Structure 1
Amino acid sequence: MSAYPTVEGEVPFAAPNSGRPCSTWYKVVGDLDKSPNYPLIALHGGPGAGHEYLASLIDLVEQHNIPIVFYDQIGCGRSTHLRDKLGDATFWTFDLFIAELNNLVDHLQLRSKGFCVLGQSWGGMLAGMYAARRPEGLKKLVIAGSPASFPLFVEGGKQQRASLPADIQKVLEEGDRTGNFETPEYKRASTSFYKKHVCRVDPLPEPVQQAFANLKDDSTAYNTMQGPSEIVVTGSLKDWDGSEQAKNINVNTLLLNGRYDEVSELCVEPWFRSIPRIKWVVFENSSHMAHWEERERYMQLVGRFLTSY
């Protein structure tokens, strides 16, 4: 149990074209009013992975007195689920998730105090596009393990797959050919990729396991926007490139990824090229989840960045 004040709540969210009342579940760890530092809003990946796997960020509260706002994005976790929107690319958009984030910021009255945003994986794509709109109150941005270009993400993934053992490559290619990603062989082959390029901590931390459980429970947003897996990209994001919009980001930005990250340097580099005020750090002993794989260094680096003015 955290020694810091923790508040949970739900905020009504008028999701455009949802056809029903929606709400966003959130949790604040730390004191929004008494801390001298800007609060940090954590944007989880997926889409649909839920907030739990970012739990290690609580170190930032304990070590740097940075209050953190966790929340489950619409479509997953304890927020409203919309399973009937499967395949509806006009519903699952950046605009939807940005509207939800703005709604939460306003509910927590963070505009006047100021706030920072950290996005991991899909959450970093969302954070980048949010920051590109220059929202009132945003002070700093952290983009962690997030592609700036999905075509480059796919290209980097092909290069990583080519380094896997030949028998695993063969199984993955057979899944691509048939579209059958549910065979025991394909799942085993995918696990080999995940252990190398998604999270190298063995066994997987329980909060990371929960992210996979969330996606299994409701993969509506993930299947619509990403596709059937991290390896096979068929969703509405497949042609997305945010590097041009990223030129509009006007806050100091910290860019992070792991040396073995499924989000390879190939697709991270356009962030670095486009964002005017940015520092890029690669974690040499991490894949996609440096906040677990190199936890101590990660928190030192992020904490120092967020508390330096």
Structure 2
Amino acid sequence: MAPRPSAQGTVPFGECRTWYRVTGDLDCGRPPLVVVHGGPGSTHDYLLAVADLAEQGWPVVHYDQLGNGGSTHLPDRGAEFWTVPLFLVELDNLLRALGIADDYVLFGHSWGGLLAAKHASRRPAGLRGLVVADSPASYPLWRQEMKALRDALPPGVNETLLRHEAAGTTDSDEYKAAMMPFNERHVCRLKPWPREYLASYYELSNDPTVYFTMNGPSEFHVVGTLRDWSVEDCCPDIEVPTLVISGRYDEATPATVRPYAELIPDVRWEMFEESSHVPHLEEPERFQRVLAGFLGGLRE
């Protein structure tokens, strides 16, 4: 279980509120690690284990992006509202509100990795380092790789998925059941799924507005507004030291992750051999060592 938060609450974001949680002391003299969750439309819960770094003296900030979790929900807003710039502005607003915009490190997971990379490419003066975890650099690449992963599923599974996708019945129980072999291979290989992972899973299910709008009905059927988005063009503009993390069985396959390693000037790529999309849960001890080592290197 992650350490107890030292502070939590909400900060104003226009007419809305962004929920946050701080573990550790923001005034300890070390840059806080700000955790940007995936989805889009998930919550911070499945990444709570990152807060263990507070026990080693690194303050950690989690937050729920607008539309989910403890932040303001806006189920009636359409696709024109849910944009990448919205979430970039929300992140900037949070950093300023917490008084950490002049000294921080970003950890972005999955969709959060693309968002963090885009933020870093703007070269904010206070950013000290970047961690991109289990994140594709391009959704077109992601879609290409999804086809290969789906084709390798047990006989009949992909056919069931394709049938429901063509019919527009992706909310059916049969479609959801057919998703499970993929999720168990490429999203989280632990059995049973950890409580914190399930918490985010259920939160997203309770309000899928952002996920359905920007992503689509499932991890491997990206038909939302992000379907053609990429950060490959801005990776060369990232100046800070960058750690890239991915799992051997990750739905973010090596082909989708490689652009980060090839295009970011100061980058290191760590592959977790026993993990899929959540190495912080699947290989927690090695994850903590790698992340703590990276943060320690920033100080040096």
Q: Report the TM range for the smaller structure's normalisation.
A: over 0.9
Query: Who is 2:25 aligned against?
Result: 31
Partner in structure 2 of residue 8 of structure 1: 8
Q: Assess if the C-alpha contact under 8 Å between 1:41 and 1:70 holds in 2.
A: yes
The aligned counterpart of 1:57 is 50
5+ long unaligned stretches in structure 1: 15-20
1:287 partner SS: coil
Shift of 1:214: 1.3
Aligned 8 A contact 2:3 2:51 in 1: no
Which residue identity is paired with 2:138?
S
User: Is the contact between residue 215 and residue 222 of structure 1 (CA under 8 Å) also seen in structure 2?
Assistant: yes
**1:52/1:211 contact within 8 Å kept:** yes
CA contact (8 A) 1:37 1:307 kept: no
Q: Structure 2: give runs of 5+ residues left out of the alignment.
A: none
The one-letter code of the counterpart of 2:66 is: I
Change (3 A) 1:106 1:193: same
Q: In the alignment, which residue of structure 1 is the partner of 2:87? A: 97
Q: Is the 1:5–1:31 contact (alpha carbons within 8 Å) kept by the matching residues of 2? A: no
Q: Which residue of 1 aligns with 2:133?
A: 144
In 2, the alpha carbon distance for the partners of 1:183 and 1:4 equals 38
CA distance in 1 between counterparts of 2:83 and 2:158 reads 32
**TM, length-normalised to structure 2:** 0.96
What aligned pairs does 1:237-248 form with structure 2 within 5 A after superposition?
237-248=226-237
| 1:191-206 alignment runs, 5 A limit | 191-206=180-195
**Structure-1 separation of matches of 2:273 and 2:2:** 30
Residues 225-268 of structure 1 show CA distances to partners (whole Å, capped at 9, x for unaligned) of: 10111121110110111101111111000001111111111111
How far is 1:162 from its partner?
1.1
Q: Relative to structure 1, is the Cα distance of residues 270 and 3 closer, same or farther in structure 2, using a 3 angstrom cutoff?
A: closer
Cα distance, 1:177 vs structure 2? 2.1
Q: What is the rounded CA distance, in whole Å, between the counterparts of 2:49 and 2:12 in structure 1?
A: 27
Shift of 1:126: 0.6
Q: What residue is the counterpart of 2:292 in the other structure?
A: 303
Supply the distance in 2 between the matched residues of 1:145 and 1:2 (Cα, whole angstroms): 21
Matches within 5 A, 1:173-252: 173-252=162-241
Contact 2:2 2:48 (8 Å CA) reproduced: no
**CA–CA distance in 2 between the matches of 1:191 and 1:4?**
32
Does the aligned pair in 1 maintain the 2:39–2:111 contact within 8 Å?
A: yes
1:137-175 deviation per Cα after TM superposition (whole angstroms, max 9, x unaligned): 000000001110101101111111111111212211212
The corresponding residue for 2:35 is: 42
Distance 1:116 1:6 in 2: 19
Equivalent runs, 1:109-120 vs 2, <5 Å? 109-112=99-102, 114-120=103-109
Deviations 1:26-48 (A, max 9, x none): 010001112x4211000001111
Post-superposition CA distance 1:116-154 (Å, at most 9, x none): 000001111110101011112000000001110101101
Q: How far off is 1:205 after superposition? A: 0.5
Give the AA of the match of 1:27.
R
Cα deviation for residue 3 of structure 1 reads 5.9
Residue identity matched to 1:11:
V
Residue number in structure 2 paired with 1:17: none
Identity %: 44
Change (3 A) 1:252 1:185: same
Contact 1:116/1:139 (8 A) holds in 2: yes
Look up the SS of the partner of 1:154 in the other structure: helix
Q: 1:4 & 1:192 partners in 2: Cα distance?
A: 34
Assess if the C-alpha contact under 8 Å between 1:4 and 1:31 holds in 2: no
Q: Give TM-score, length-normalised by structure 1.
A: 0.93
**How far apart are the structure 2 equivalents of 1:222 and 1:3?**
29
